[in-house]
């Protein structure tokens, strides 16, 4: 509670007396005499006193008011003059706050004139060994642009890295994180481990005692760790197999710390660690003891629900393991299909291969196999491309259809739109003449492929699949599909039976073209 003396000073300060404002600011700055310590309130009164010429006021601001307090003010640049004056008067501690204020507000026009002086202050402090100044200078150099002068830009970048290295060596956490991040981005795994592992161990020392008390991912833990530290731990989790001389307990704690901070990559890595396997299902983490599949399933399920297809694939591998007491082929297939649906190439290949092996159990399995193999092949999986080439044909123009259409007049094609559409299909997808004349597009179009199966009408034919690979092919099929949408394509439909359709085709061809077609038919039959 404020004393009578404090109340008198407060009244005088409110009345505009500079000495009273200075005295009140000093009391709030250090606390005591019934008034609490409050840097923000002290800044308010010292600033008012300084604006009335009280030199001790800006000296106190420069020496004792932290940068973080001024940075939260509505207009931080209103106070930068006091830090500048204090620094010019020999108060070195004010120089760093002055530089930070100017650099943090350098986008403001008022700060532009002070930018050069701020950088010089930083350079002086950095050369004097102030770690914070070294890190700030590293950030400044990294952000400077030299338009049209690549060499100058490269020199500034190199200088920034040197200052960041010095700051990191002095123990500045953000500098250490930045260098670890740079090593990760340039794919220098050894340098990343060298820089990141000590940081991870430091985080473990700070938070490991909390881990046994946690039963689920904690948002509070994530907030305290910060995104930078969580990313660091997540990256360490991804390359845990490459880290030498790390104990199983420390590895597990690193994974758990990031996993409990709700990082999905770490949750995946922790699940794999408990299962003692890698993402492909192979054995991993030798010397770390036996697998704990119950814990593995828990963390892999969390990662899968967060959108990681690799987690579902790993679960499918666990449910296939003979040593797993709850081994279940149905569950394994369920998780495999979930991974495939989310774009996991290996899962798509396995789904396609499984469907192809079991094609005799279900006539539609070959169509299902092509679907998954196309998905995997689109991700450049070589085994998927090879198998897809064996079980499905790629579109190729049919020479007979090209020749036939060339001899048909526009009037004939207009008079027989169904025949014209069938010729277009044959040209686009390489259909034989019986296939073109008998295919029912509504049943054949499966979206990703054409199922050409006319065995019920033409016994000598074989069921085959033709890939639909381009947007143009899809547009043609959609257009022709609309033409046949309400048409009965069976032999009792308006197009007639096979002989009638074949006769209609032959009537449009000259004698020599018809003879060539008959020769092709004989060759196909033989």
Confidence (pLDDT) at 406: 85
Confidence (pLDDT) at 516: 53
| Rounded Cα distance, 309 and 145, in Å | 41
Collect contacts of 119-125 with beta carbons under 8 A, ≥24 apart: 121/87, 121/95, 121/96, 122/96, 124/95, 125/92, 125/95, 125/96, 125/99
Confidence (pLDDT) at 169: 79
Confidence (pLDDT) at 309: 96
Compute how many other C-beta atoms are within 10 angstroms of the C-beta atom of residue 511.
8
Nearest CA among 222, 167, 162, 229 for reference residue 199? 229
Residues with Cβ within 8 Å of 283's Cβ and at least 6 positions away in sequence, in order, are 276, 277
Confidence (pLDDT) at 280: 85
Confidence (pLDDT) at 526: 47
Confidence (pLDDT) at 389: 92
Q: How far is CA 162 from the centre of its chain?
A: 31
| Rounded Cα distance, 84 and 102, in Å | 10
Residues with Cβ within 8 Å of 99's Cβ and at least 6 positions away in sequence, in order, are 118, 119, 121, 122, 125, 133, 136
8 A C-beta contact, residue 70 and residue 79: yes
Report in angstroms the alpha-carbon separations of 6 from 9, 140, 320: 5, 44, 78
- From first CA to last CA, the distance across the chain in angstroms is 110
The string of DSSP codes covering 363-388 is: TTHHHHHHHHHHHHHTTT-HHHHHHH
At 4 the three-state DSSP class reads helix
| Rounded Cα distance, 214 and 207, in Å | 11
Which tokens sit at 50?
């300084």
Helices (H), 105-188: 109-112, 115-127, 131-143, 150-169, 173-185
Q: Is the dihedral of CA 10, 14, 20, 21 positive or negative?
A: positive
- Supply the pTM of this predicted model: 0.74
Nearest CA among 518, 495, 363 for reference residue 441? 495
Instruction: Show pLDDT as tens, one digit a residue, over the chain (526 residues).
Output: 457 777 888 888 888 898 988 888 888 888 876 788 899 998 898 999 989 988 888 889 888 988 888 888 888 888 888 888 888 888 888 888 888 888 888 888 877 888 888 888 888 888 888 888 888 888 777 766 544 556 666 777 777 788 788 888 787 888 888 888 888 998 999 999 988 888 999 999 999 888 888 888 999 999 999 999 999 999 988 888 788 878 888 889 999 999 999 999 999 999 999 999 988 888 888 878 889 999 999 999 999 999 999 999 999 999 999 999 999 999 999 999 999 999 999 999 999 999 999 998 998 999 999 999 999 999 999 999 999 999 999 988 888 888 888 888 888 888 889 999 999 999 999 999 999 999 999 999 999 999 999 999 988 889 999 999 999 999 999 999 999 988 898 888 899 999 998 888 888 776 545 555 555 554 554 4
Confidence (pLDDT) at 145: 55
121 CB-side CA count, 13 A: 26
């Amino acid at each position: 509670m404020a004393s009578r003396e404090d109340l008198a000073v407060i009244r005088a300060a409110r009345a505009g007396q500079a000495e009273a404002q200075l005295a009140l600011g000093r009391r709030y700055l250090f606390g005591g005499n019934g008034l609490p310590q409050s840097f923000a309130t002290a800044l308010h009164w010292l600033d008012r006193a300084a604006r009335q010429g009280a030199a001790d006021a800006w000296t106190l601001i420069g020496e004792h008011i932290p940068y973080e307090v001024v940075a939260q003010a509505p207009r931080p640049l209103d106070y930068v003059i006091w830090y500048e004056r204090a620094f010019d008067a020999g108060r070195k501690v004010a120089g760093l706050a002055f530089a930070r204020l100017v650099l943090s507000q350098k986008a403001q026009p008022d700060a532009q004139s002070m930018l050069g002086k701020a950088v010089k202050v930083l350079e002086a402090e950095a050369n004097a060994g102030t770690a914070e100044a070294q890190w700030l200078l590293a950030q400044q150099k990294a952000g400077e642009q030299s338009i049209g002068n690549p060499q100058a830009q490269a020199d500034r970048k190199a200088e920034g890295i040197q200052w960041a290295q010095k700051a990191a060596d002095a123990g500045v956490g953000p500098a250490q994180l930045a260098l670890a991040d740079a090593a990760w981005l340039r794919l220098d795994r050894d340098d990343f481990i060298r820089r990141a592992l000590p940081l991870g161990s430091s985080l473990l020392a700070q938070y490991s005692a909390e881990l046994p008390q946690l039963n689920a991912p904690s948002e509070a833990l994530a907030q305290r760790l910060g995104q930078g530290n969580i990313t660091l731990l997540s990256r360490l989790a991804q390359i845990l197999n490459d880290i030498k001389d790390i104990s199983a307990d420390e590895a597990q704690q690193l994974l758990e710390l990031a996993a409990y901070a709700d990082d999905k990559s770490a949750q995946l890595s922790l699940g794999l660690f408990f299962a003692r396997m890698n993402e492909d299902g192979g054995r991993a983490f030798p010397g770390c003891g036996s697998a704990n599949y119950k814990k593995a399933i828990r963390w892999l399920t969390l990662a899968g629900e967060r959108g990681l297809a690799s987690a579902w694939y790993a679960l499918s591998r666990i449910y296939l393991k003979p040593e797993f007491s709850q081994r279940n082929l149905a569950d394994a297939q369920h998780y495999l299909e979930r991974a495939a649906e989310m774009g996991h190439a290996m899962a798509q290949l396995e789904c396609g291969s499984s469907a192809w092996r079991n094609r005799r159990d279900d006539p539609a399995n070959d169509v299902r196999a092509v679907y998954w193999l196309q998905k995997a092949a689109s991700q450049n999986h070589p085994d998927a491309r090879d198998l897809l080439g064996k079980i499905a044909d790629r579109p190729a123009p049919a020479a007979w259809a090209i020749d036939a259409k060339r001899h048909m007049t526009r009037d004939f094609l207009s008079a027989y739109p169904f025949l014209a559409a069938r010729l277009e299909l044959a040209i686009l997808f390489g259909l034989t003449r019986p296939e073109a004349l008998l295919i029912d597009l509504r049943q054949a179009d499966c979206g990703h492929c054409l199922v050409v199966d006319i065995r019920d009408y033409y016994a000598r034919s074989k069921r085959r699949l033709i890939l639909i690979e381009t947007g143009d092919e899809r547009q043609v099929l959609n257009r022709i599909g609309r033409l046949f949408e309400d048409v009965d394509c069976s032999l009792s439909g308006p197009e007639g039976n096979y002989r009638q359709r074949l006769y209609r085709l032959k009537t449009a061809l000259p004698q020599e073209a018809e003879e060539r077609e008959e020769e092709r038919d004989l060759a196909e039959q033989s």
